[in-house]
Amino acid sequence: MRRGKAGPSANRRCDIYQTGQGGIHLEGGDRKTLTPAGHYADNNHIHHSARWDPVYQQGITAFGVGNRVTHNLIDHVPHVAIGFSGNDQVIEYNEIHSAVFQSNDAGAIYTSPPDETWSMRGHRIRYNYLHHIHGFRGKGCLGVYLDDCFSSADISCNVFYDVATAILIGGGRDNTMTNNMFIRCDRAFSIDARGLGWAKDVGEFATKELIALGYKQPPWSVRYPELLNILEDEPLAPKGNVVARSICWGGKWGWTEPKALPYVTFKDNLLDTDPHFKDIAPASFELQDDSPAFKLGFQRIPFEKIGLYQSGDRASWPVAHTLQSRPEL
C-alpha cells in the first residue's frame, strides 16, 4: 500500500503478508519548507513479504517529512523491516524480529535515501523492541543502521535482544543513543569515522544539498541550528554522538573506530553488571526496584506499550507469530 503527497493518510490495523515486494510506503511533505506530510502506519502486522524481490522491499518505508511508523509488528521479512529518510520521521513502539536474514550489510531499521546526507535530521527511533535478528546465515547484520554520515537521530529507550549488532553509526553526527537495553547482543553498537576516510565523497553532494535547501535561512536555521556552522566545523568528522544511560548484559559492548573515539561521549552506562530483571530475559525486561541501572539515571521503558494493541477493527486478534530460529554458522 502506497501513501503519497495528496494529504495525510493512514494505514491502520491491517495484516499484510505474502506480498511480492514490500508492505506500506509512506511518502510526502516538503523538504524545502520542512512541511510534514502526517502520513502514518499504526497497529499493522506485516510478515512474509518481498517474496519475488527480497532486497530493499521494506515492510514499511517513511520518506519525505514528518511521517509516523508506530505500534507495528514486522517479522519474517528477508531484508529491511523499516526504511526511512528525509526529515522528522517518528519510528516508535514497533516490534521487529526474524528480519534481515538474506543480507549482512543491512539493518532492520535502515536509512534508505540512497544518498545519505547531513540534512536528513530530526528522526526519533524510540521504544522499539528488536530481537532475534542475525543476518544471512547468521553472519551478522544491524538492528538500527545509520549509513554514510546520516546524522541527528534520537535512538533511545529501545530494547535489543539477541541482535547481531544493535546500532551502527556510519560516520554521522549528533546521534543520541540513550536509555537503551542491549541484552545478549553480539555487539551493542559500532561507531566509525568513514567520512574521514573512504566515504569522504559524501561531503561533495551533501554540501550541495545543504546550499540548495537554504540551510542558513528559516525554516532550516530555526529547526536545525546545529547546521548553521557545520561546513566550518569539520563536517565529515563524527562529532556530537552520545551513548549514555544504557544497559549491556549478556553480550559485548560496542566498538568505536579510533578516529571516531575523540568525538563520542560515553556516560553512565551499565556494563557487565547484572541489571536485576524481574525474570530471566526475554521473559521479562522489567527491572527490579534495586537495579543498579536506576542509580545511573536509567528510566523505565514501557515495554507493555510496544507492538500491536487490541482494537475493535483490527484485522485479526489475537495475532500469532513465530520466531525464526538462529542459523547455524
- H or E element at residue 220: helix 220-223
> What does the pLDDT look like over 192-228, one tens digit per residue?
999 999 999 999 999 999 999 999 999 999 999 999 9
Whether 100 contacts 141, CB under 8 Å = yes
In the chain, the N- to C-terminal Cα span, in Å, equals: 36
Sign of CA dihedral 233, 236, 239, 242: positive
Cα–Cα dist 18/20, whole Å:
7
Could you tell me which residues come within 8 angstroms of residue 182 by beta carbon, excluding any fewer than 6 positions away? 160, 166, 188, 189, 246, 247, 248, 249, 251, 253
* The pLDDT value given to residue 1: 55
Q: For residue range 126-185, list pLDDT tens digits in order.
A: 999 999 999 999 999 999 999 999 999 999 999 999 999 999 999 999 999 999 999 999
Q: What are phi and psi of 198, to 5 degrees?
A: -70, -20
Query: Which grid cell sits at 304?
Result: 507493555
Record the pTM: 0.96
Backbone phi and psi for residue 6, each to the nearest 5 degrees, phi listed first: -70, -30
On whether the CB atoms of residues 76 and 108 are closer than 8 A, the answer is: no
- CA proximity to 106, closest of 160, 39, 185, 168: 168
Measured CA to CA in angstroms, residue 309 lies from 43, 82, 89 at distances of 7, 19, 21
Mean pLDDT by 10 residues, the chain (329 residues): 61 96 96 97 97 94 97 97 97 98 96 88 98 96 97 97 98 97 98 97 95 97 96 97 98 97 98 97 96 98 97 95 79
Look up residue 298 and give its three cell numbers: 536509567
Cell reading at 16: 499484510
Which pLDDT belongs to residue 324? 87
CB 142 within 8 A of CB 208: no
Residues in contact with 261: Cβ distance below 8 Å, sequence separation at least 6, in sequence order: none
Rounded CA separation 80/108 (Å): 5
Other CB atoms within 10 A of residue 124 CB: 17
Question: For 209, how many CA atoms within 13 A lie in the half-sphere containing its CB?
Answer: 15
Burial 4-18 (b: 16+ CB within 10 A, else e): eeeeebebbbbebee
